[in-house]
Structure 1
Amino acid sequence: MYLDERGYTVLKTIVNNPSITGKEVEASLQLTRKQLSYAIEKINDYLQGNGMPKIERLRTGKFIVPVSVLEQYQTEDIGGFDTTYVYSDKDRGFLIYLMLLCIREELSIYHFTSELQISKNTFLTDLKKLEHKLEDYHLEVSYNRQEGYHLVGSEFAKREMMIMAVRGILKLPNGKDTIMRICRISEELMSQVESQIMVIEERLKIRFTDERMKELPLILCLTVIRTKKGRIIRELPEAFQHIAGTKEYSAMLEFAKAYDITWQSEKLFLAAQIQISNFHTMQAGESEQEEELMKASEKVIENFENMICVTIDERETLLEALFQHIKPAFYRIKYHYHIEQSIADMVLPQYSSLHAIVRKSIQPLEELVGAKFPDEELVYITALFGAWLRREGILDLVETKKRAVVVCANGISVSNFLYFTLKELFPEIDFITCLSLRDFKEYDDKNYDIVFTMVRLETSKMQFLVKPFIDEISKRKFREKVMGELTGVIPHEVDTAGLMEIIKKHAIVQDEEALKREISNALNSEPEEEHLHMMNTQFSIGLKDVLVKDTIQVLDHTIPWEEAIHMVGKPLIARNDIEERYVEKSIENIRKEKPFIMIADGVVIAHAGVDDGANRVCLSLLTMPEKIDVAGYMEADVILMIGTPDPTKHLGVLEQLNSMLEDIEALHLLKTAKEPKEILELVQNEKKEK
């Protein structure tokens, strides 16, 4: 939906002055209370329709404006933090924790209510919520008249929660200044630590992400302050003992010496902060641990290629990017660091099929770390692989009207994902590079027209604020917004998917995939490749869409493996799904490369590359009564052939196929079926159960 003029004016008034009250808005815009309430309701509908949180209105008349809304819609600089931003209960919880951690005098209720400008009851409510959160860290808040409010628990646990609180407050306007004030960090100490971090970057040949460069100086400053007060980590988890001797440990010895930090446990803690950091760029080292990580990463890519039936070009570049994310993730998992900001909810709706395949591919790394990769970490790897598949599946246009750079404050996985998401979304724009905030400030090449950025920048170039993970509806709206501003025309696309749903209500569709193609071709008067690509992405292709009666064969005898692959490919050639050369390439791959393409006991899936003659996503299946030898290294009684002209469109098919074959009963029914109809029923039932 779109905002009318009044709603837009109210939104701008609030975001440009977040401390304004409802009465002040009414007075400045000459609105009645009812008109303002209606406008706020419309604004929140608009925000939610664009995937953003609502603006809350408090009983006091003030507004709680989410930071993401400020970033997106604010057009004027705001003043000090204290007068312009209303804390949420979560914000106050983090601030209460930092006060408990850093202020040495006896803390009473007055200290908290005065600092946070809240009532006694609000403080007590916030404290209860904080205490519930502290249970995860085995910490508690204690109170007595002599000491006031104070924290009880291990110093290591306090540091873990300290890091979480720092990250939470940094997301707020003027968050750094707020932390420095509450924790009494001097400008001199901050300046020293920031300079030393740059020296560490030079020594280790790394470049921290912009996000990490904001939080790391604060974490190190607070560590220095804690140690000077005698708040020393006495015990560390066993995994930390292996840090000594690493290059990160050696680099942090100089830092520890500068602040008279002599305790081994503190040196290990400092080194760990470097190891778990995300990097924008880094160079792989030659330590034994890094060599093992590199080998495991290579195996992950190999597993991934086998599972998605696609060979990835520029493998070495992907390996470098994967290693760049895997190294800090490995240490975060090893040291049991909490990951608060999960992007799973943003990635999984688009990449659930890919995510399931990545989880199966990641086993070599899990064996190395000795633990499962949590989804909070795994989704970043999913994002990286997704970005790479999109990169290799998109044709660059020779002529472009506009040139753009992407500025992303996050690490390599998110940066790649954002870059290639935008590259796919805007084939009309030539995307030059992806930069960190620091890199953007130093970027010499000014021959670009547009900046896509996660945070508002000081630049004369046209800029668009974008979030790294957006659903399909948000993508379409964002594209309309950008193209509308660039061309003055909002593009209109025919809702082919909607037409399909209408047809299915009134007719029985025998072959959904074929009908989709026919509708797309009939409605599309300009069948350029990039336009077809955008229309096809409206569909989520599933197993039942491609495995139909015509592509299933049940033999009552066995045949040699090469003949079996020729036979399983025939229906796809007849439907013009693939060309004959695709079958020949599939056989050549098995004979020469010997890829492990067995996806279940006795089930192999033959395939060639996306450029080897596959015209669309397709699948065929052939069963035999007994297993046959396949090229001397596999045995199979079920042969499948999958084709795809795109690295990602077939992933839903593969996920559903793997899910069905993991069911022992379903696999037995597949192998004992006497006619194609039985297998077709099995596929249809599998879809319904999902």
Structure 2
Amino acid sequence: MLKTETILLINYLHQTKEKDTEKIILSLDESRKKLWYEISVINNFLVEGGLQTIELHAGQLFNQDEETEKWTKLLVEQELDSYQFPEERIPLLIIHIACAQQPLSAKKLQNYFRLSRSSVLADVKRLRDYIEDYELVLLYDKAEGYIFKGDEMKVRRLLENAISHLQHISYLKKSAHYFEVIWGKSLEINEHYAYILNYSKNNLLSFVESRLEELIYNICFNKIRKNTKPINFSKNDTQQLKDQPAYTLSATLVKDIFNHSNEAEILFWETRLLNVLQGEKYTVDAHYFNKLTAKIILHIQQITGINFSESTTLHKTLYQHLVPAYFRMKFDLYYENPLVDKVKKEYQNLFYLIKKGLEPLEQEIGKCVSESEIAYFTIHFGGYLHLKEKTEENTRLRALAICLNGISSSLVMTAGLREIFPEIDFIEQHSIQEALLMSENQYDLVFSTISFPSEKKVYITKSWVRIQFLLEGLGHGMVLLRIMAGRLLIQRQP
């Protein structure tokens, strides 16, 4: 795939028809060596496409003008190979329309996608149905072309969702390259990446890497949008956001990248920054979020019947997840969870319980929590339960069970011990010699029918037949009495 620099040179040569290499070098601020290299790359590309190459003589480029008309078409065709299915074209349509650099008609969409008119109109209908959930409409005007009508925040959310989807299917970079080709301009992705990295270094910021790429592409596409509408924030939301330390960071970003200091834009990009910033120092209201975290844990505890109250680790990690999730949900920032279907299928019951348990959060943000977000909370609590289970397994006592009355008697004794002490893992030994050879690190205590030398606690069992008789007589429902009966016949070795 051609790099952005090569694409820009192709577009420059196509649009200006410039032949003089010195003027090209001056206009593009390139070195001669770099220009010769880019020309060689372009020629390889043209050969693969069956087109004539560019010749260089006495500081002049020679190629037939009619050939340059085919360059852009060849570039677009190269990018379109991956977009053969309607569901893959919908995100592209969204970006096309939201970021259109000139009026967009069905005819132009036919040319861009190399589709028939009926296929393009079918895609447009699918898009109209799709955006109903966003309370947006798609209109067509001869002067303006296709345009989205509705709340500006919802248009931006639609654009973000398209970007997120393309990243999810690994087409985001390729799609950005495609738009640079058809628009004939750079999205300045590398420049914005460099700015963000330098910005984070200077301000000692820590980003969630998996979300940073979407933020940068979101900035790039929004920067080139035309005819954007004002965004409105409520008085309470405005005050809450202005109170956060991230507000100052957002103000700097908006001034440096968008060249203005519009307060609504600062607030908007602050909500996006809060989704990718890692750590607690970028928000205030620690008391509020700690209280909300505790409320969610308590509610889920009441629904599931599982005691979480003693876990400070769960509270801390849930708090760290909750803060960005809160701002993400409250301000409609879409974040695609590729595991949502898997979580719903494999942890159906837990997913349902967590959904019910997040009611305190829904009350705070004033809207329903999406399945994508529920899946993240399910993974969070499920991970804690799995860790808790593993920890309990790792802290289970290991007991050495020694019986020299034969294998059958040994099996009976061990089975009885397991029934009395289900919280203990038993290691069977039928030979005193083999038991003596074992390292004491392999067990925590010993049950034996004879005296056994060990630094660990040793319990001498008396008549195991009598224990077994008592166990059978008491029945399976009387666990406590069975344990008491067993302990009467087991004494600590002096």
- The 1:582–1:167 alpha-carbon spacing in structure 2 relative to 1, beyond 3 Å, is farther
| Correspondence for 1:375 | 371
Larger radius of gyration: 2
Q: Could you tell me which of 334, 347, 353 is aligned with 2:349? A: 353
Q: Distance in 2 between matches of 1:528 and 1:122?
A: 69
Deviations 1:238-288 (A, max 9, x none): 6642312312211111111113122111111111112234x6xx3223854
Q: What SS class does the counterpart of residue 127 from structure 2 fall into?
A: helix
Shift of 1:143: 2.5
Q: Could you tell me which of 286, 309, 315 is aligned with 1:319? A: 315
| Correspondence for 1:61 | none
Say if 1:142 and 1:150, in contact at 8 Å, map to a contact too. yes
* Greater fraction of residues in helix: 2
Deviations 1:456-492 (A, max 9, x none): xxxxxxxxxxxxxxxxxxxxxxxxxxxxxxxxxxxxx
Deviations 1:602-623 (A, max 9, x none): xxxxxxxxxxxxxxxxxxxxxx
Equivalences for residues 49-60 of structure 1 within 5 A: none
Equivalences for residues 79-478 of structure 1 within 5 A: 82=79, 84-182=81-179, 184=183, 189-199=188-198, 201=200, 203=203, 205-210=205-210, 212-226=211-225, 229=226, 231-236=228-233, 240-241=237-238, 242-258=240-256, 259-277=258-276, 282-285=278-281, 287-305=283-301, 307-312=303-308, 315-338=311-334, 343-394=339-390
Q: Could you tell me which of 454, 468, 476 is aligned with 1:575? A: 476
Deviations 1:407-461 (A, max 9, x none): xxxxxxxxxxxxxxxxxxxxxxxxxxxxxxxxxxxxxxxxxxxxxxxxxxxxxxx
Indicate the RMSD between aligned Cα atoms, in angstroms. 3.9
Say if 1:139 and 1:158, in contact at 8 Å, map to a contact too. yes
TM-score, normalisation: structure 2: 0.57
Shift of 1:347: 1.8
Say if 2:136 and 2:151, in contact at 8 Å, map to a contact too. yes
How many residues are aligned here? 331
Shift of 1:216: 0.9
Shift of 1:581: 11
Shift of 1:118: 1.4
- The 1:580–1:225 alpha-carbon spacing in structure 2 relative to 1, beyond 3 Å, is farther
Shift of 1:85: 2.0
**Structure 2 residue identity aligned to 1:350:** E
Say if 2:79 and 2:178, in contact at 8 Å, map to a contact too. no
**Structure 2 residue identity aligned to 1:190:** I
Q: Distance in 1 between matches of 2:123 and 2:84?
A: 11
Shift of 1:222: 2.0
Q: Distance in 2 between matches of 1:388 and 1:107?
A: 51
- The 1:349–1:91 alpha-carbon spacing in structure 2 relative to 1, beyond 3 Å, is closer
Q: Distance in 1 between matches of 2:241 and 2:179?
A: 32
**Structure 2 residue identity aligned to 1:109:** A
- The 1:205–1:577 alpha-carbon spacing in structure 2 relative to 1, beyond 3 Å, is farther
**Structure 2 residue identity aligned to 1:354:** L
Say if 2:246 and 2:283, in contact at 8 Å, map to a contact too. no
Q: What SS class does the counterpart of residue 151 from structure 1 fall into?
A: strand
Q: Distance in 2 between matches of 1:580 and 1:305?
A: 30
Q: Distance in 2 between matches of 1:287 and 1:149?
A: 40
Shift of 1:204: 6.5
Q: Distance in 2 between matches of 1:579 and 1:200?
A: 64
Q: Distance in 2 between matches of 1:185 and 1:253?
A: 30
| Correspondence for 1:9 | none
Q: Which runs of 5+ in 2 are unaligned?
A: 1-76, 395-424, 428-470, 485-494
- The 1:117–1:307 alpha-carbon spacing in structure 2 relative to 1, beyond 3 Å, is same
- The 1:197–1:367 alpha-carbon spacing in structure 2 relative to 1, beyond 3 Å, is same
- The 1:188–1:132 alpha-carbon spacing in structure 2 relative to 1, beyond 3 Å, is closer
Q: What SS class does the counterpart of residue 358 from structure 1 fall into?
A: helix
Say if 1:237 and 1:335, in contact at 8 Å, map to a contact too. no
Say if 2:231 and 2:264, in contact at 8 Å, map to a contact too. yes
Instruction: Point out 4+ residue stretches in structure 1 off by more than 6 angstroms.
Output: 395-398, 580-583
Shift of 1:576: 6.8
- The 1:173–1:366 alpha-carbon spacing in structure 2 relative to 1, beyond 3 Å, is closer
Q: Distance in 1 between matches of 2:174 and 2:109?
A: 18
Q: What SS class does the counterpart of residue 261 from structure 1 fall into?
A: coil
Q: What SS class does the counterpart of residue 194 from structure 2 fall into?
A: helix
